[in-house]
Every structure is written in C-alpha cells, then in structure tokens.
Structure 1
Amino acid sequence: MTVKPLGDRVLIKVKEVETKTASGLYIPQTAQEKTTTGTVVAVGEDTDAIAVKVGQDVMYDKYAGTNISIDGVDHLIVSSGDLIAIVE
C-alpha cells in the first residue's frame, strides 16, 4: 500500500522502542515509553511549509499525529508543525 500525505503533512516510519538497556536488562512492554523519533517516508505537496526531506530522521511531539499501519509496520502522519527537530 502506498500512502501520500496531503498539504503540509509528513509520513514517518516510527522507530522501534529499545527493549533492552545498555547493561543487558530487558524492559517489559508496559514500562516502555512511546518513541518520539522516526524516519521521513513521504512528504505532502506543500513544500513551502515542509522543511524535511524523505530519508531524514526527525523528532516529533509525543502526542502528535495519527497512527497507521502500512504492511504491518507502524507509521505516523503528522503536520509539519508537530516536527521538533532533525536528528543527525
């Protein structure tokens, strides 16, 4: 399935949550926090309002956007205003 965001929206592939700490302890799913980073998969046609490009890693607001599943992979559609930073 192909999803093309409209307007100033951005489609982000959500990064997986770390299930293991640096010291090797496993974190139960109930204690894991929602990730706020991901990779831009597609952008809308309003290029004046969107400052990110496909393939960039970004950070977004914790409760932003709409969660969708594309071919079993979690994605998020957010407004470009909900993007906080580009992660390099």
Structure 2
Amino acid sequence: MTTTKVRPLNDRVLVKRMSEEEKTAGGLFIPDSAKEKPAKGVVISAGPGKVDDNGKRTPLEVKAGDKVLFGKYSGTEIKLDGEEHMILREDEILAILEA
C-alpha cells in the first residue's frame, strides 16, 4: 500500500476527521444515514504560515498532532489512501482541543 505525502502550503492545514460515535449515550446504535460528519479532527500536517504584506512569514498556531474543531462547512474534503481528510485554512479552525 502506498502512502500519499501531502504538504500544505502557506496557512493551510491537513486534518484527518475523527470517527463519529457509533451509538448514543443511552446505547442505541446510530444508522449511517443519520450520522453527521464530525467537525473535529487531528492535524496531520501544517503549512509554514501566511506571508504578510511586508514579506514576513507568520507561523501557524496549530501543529501536527493537535486535535481541532472546525466549522461544519469549512475546508475542502479530499481522500488520501481511502480515508477522508480536510484541507482547511488556519482561520477556519475554531479551537484546539486540550487533553
């Protein structure tokens, strides 16, 4: 199996969606048709940062391994090696989830 390497540019971030819940807190199983895609994921890789008007690069706050929340309609969905990923701008990330 080949592994695709993706290196985001500028202020973009590659995020792998976290798997959604299979059942409710009460123990009921959720059918696939009723599942919403989760708006949280793990940062796989991040670009070097955005270049400002003076040519200075501002590094990103997120880094590989961070768990993040993002908007429901944010980013662009892509498939890498059969798994769903998102490419987002850093400003589309709403929060970093702390452990």
- The bucket for the TM-score relative to the shorter chain is over 0.9
> 1:49, 1:80 within 8 Å by CA — same for their partners in 2?
no
Identity of aligned residues (%): 43
Instruction: Provide the rounded CA distance (Å) in 2 between the counterparts of 1:20 and 1:48.
Output: 42
> 1:37, 1:59 within 8 Å by CA — same for their partners in 2?
yes
Instruction: Provide the rounded CA distance (Å) in 2 between the counterparts of 1:49 and 1:60.
Output: 19
Q: Which amino acid is the alignment partner of residue 9 of structure 1?
A: R
Runs (4+) of structure 1 exceeding 6 A deviation are none
**Is 76-85 or 44-53 further displaced after alignment?**
44-53
Of residues 52, 58, 77, the one that matches 2:68 is 58
CA RMSD of aligned residues (A): 1.2
Of residues 64, 71, 74, the one that matches 2:84 is 74
**Which residue of structure 2 aligns with residue 12 of structure 1?**
15
**Is 39-48 or 62-71 further displaced after alignment?**
39-48
Q: Which amino acid is the alignment partner of residue 38 of structure 1?
A: G
TM-score of the superposed pair, with normalisation by structure 2: 0.83
Number of residue pairs aligned between Structure 1 and Structure 2: 88
**Is 65-74 or 35-44 further displaced after alignment?**
65-74
Equivalent residues in 2 for 1:11-50, closer than 5 Å: 11-46=14-49, 48-50=58-60
Task: For residue 55 of structure 1, give the secondary structure of its aligned residue in structure 2.
Answer: coil
TM-score of the superposed pair, with normalisation by structure 1: 0.93
Task: For residue 30 of structure 1, give the secondary structure of its aligned residue in structure 2.
Answer: helix
**Deviation at residue 45 of structure 1 after TM alignment:** 1.4
**Deviation at residue 49 of structure 1 after TM alignment:** 5.0
**Deviation at residue 23 of structure 1 after TM alignment:** 2.0
Name which one, 1 or 2, has greater alpha-carbon Rg: 2
